[in-house]
Chain A
Amino acid sequence: AQSVTQPDIHITVSEGASLELRCNYSYGATPYLFWYVQSPGQGLQLLLKYFSGDTLVQGIKGFEAEFKRSQSSFNLRKPSVHWSDAAEYFCAVGAVTGGGNKLTFGTGTQLKVEL
């Protein structure tokens, strides 16, 4: 079974600083990987996804993530954080099995942005 670890529960950065949110996964085959963002009281919005091909993936709102198979990681990065990026971020790994498309989520990282 697949699993996802987001080791940082909370992260605080200053506006304009760079950001990296960590995500490690466990899965026996090549995974599908996703980053979602959730603003307070809202649903989840897809930031970016990796299915195959180029291991550096660009997403919305200036985010990018890099798939590193050797480290089983899919870290999310942004070069300059904006106050509006404050939210909770979830990494997820997808597995296509005989039972269909199932996502396993990490426990999330809460991002606070200091002005």
Chain B
Amino acid sequence: IAGITQAPTSQILAAGRRMTLRCTQDMRHNAMYWYRQDLGLGLRLIHYSNTAGTTGKGEVPDGYSVSRANTDDFPLTLASAVPSQTSVYFCASSASDSGDTQYFGPGTRLTVL
């Protein structure tokens, strides 16, 4: 059982470039989430999806977009990367959007130069 996989593991990106971080879960969870982790700030929610076909904005959504075409995949796109988006990005999922435990992927370390 893989749980949640994220790709790439790490990436160095030039400012202004477009980048999509991939997230796939095999638990058939309805809800999925994207967080960024920055030193001293903990994890902050970027976007979430309660079920396939729906998405919502979290605490820090600017500069990011998501889509949820099916249950398993929840890609995060940076349309035009900026250095302040240098961070570690975690994808998570939960069985429902009603208080269930969120399970996290291994993360993607992104550096924008």
A residues with CB within 8 A of B: 32, 34, 36, 42-46, 49, 51, 90, 92, 94, 96, 99-108
Contact = CB atoms under 8 A, between A and B. Distances in A.
Interface of B: 4, 31, 33, 35, 40-45, 48, 50, 56, 58-59, 90, 92, 94, 96-107
A43 B43 contact: no
Which residue of A45, A99, A101 has the most chain B CB atoms within 10 A of its CB atom? A101
A87 to B, nearest CB: 14
Contact of B105 (A43, A94, A104): A43
A39 to B, nearest CB: 11
Nearest to B4: A43
Contacts of B102: 101, 103
A90 B99 CA distance: 17
What are the 5 A-B residue pairs with the smallest beta carbon separation, nearest first? A100-B97, A105-B42, A43-B104, A44-B104, A100-B50
B42 A108 contact: yes
Contact of A101 (B42, B43, B98): B98
Contact of A96 (B43, B98, B104): B98
A26 to B, nearest CB: 15
A68 B81 CA distance: 43
Contacts of A105: 35, 42-44
Contacts of B98: 96, 101
A101 B31 contact: yes
A90 B104 contact: no
